[in-house]
Amino acid sequence: MRHVGLLAARVVLGGYLAVHGAKKISSLFGGPGLEATAKGFEGLGLTPGKPMAALAGASQVGGGILTVTG
């Protein structure tokens, strides 16, 4: 039973992380997309904005997938 609970937690948390990253780099799931995220990153002082936003989104998608797979 414990394994089922851990699997459920990994699927929920990893899925949330992957979707959050996908919203950063594309307009999937109603996200702002890469251009708007890049502007937001530049406003925070993270320059250059577009590569930083792409790296953040890609790492979140990858991390979410790795979390789900265990």
Model confidence pLDDT, tens digit, residues 2-55: 899 999 999 999 999 999 999 999 988 888 999 999 999 999 999 999 999 999
The pLDDT score that the predictor gives to residue 29 is 83
Peptide bond into 48 cis (omega under 30): yes
The pLDDT score that the predictor gives to residue 34 is 94
> How much is the pTM?
0.88
DSSP H helical segments within 26-48, as ranges?
34-43
Of 21, 26, 14, nearest in space to 64 by CA: 14
Say how far apart CA 17 and CA 10 lie, in whole Å: 10
The pLDDT score that the predictor gives to residue 4 is 94
Burial of 24 (C-beta count, 10 Å sphere; 0-12/13-18/19+) = buried
Comparing 59 with 2, the larger pLDDT belongs to: 59
The pLDDT score that the predictor gives to residue 30 is 86
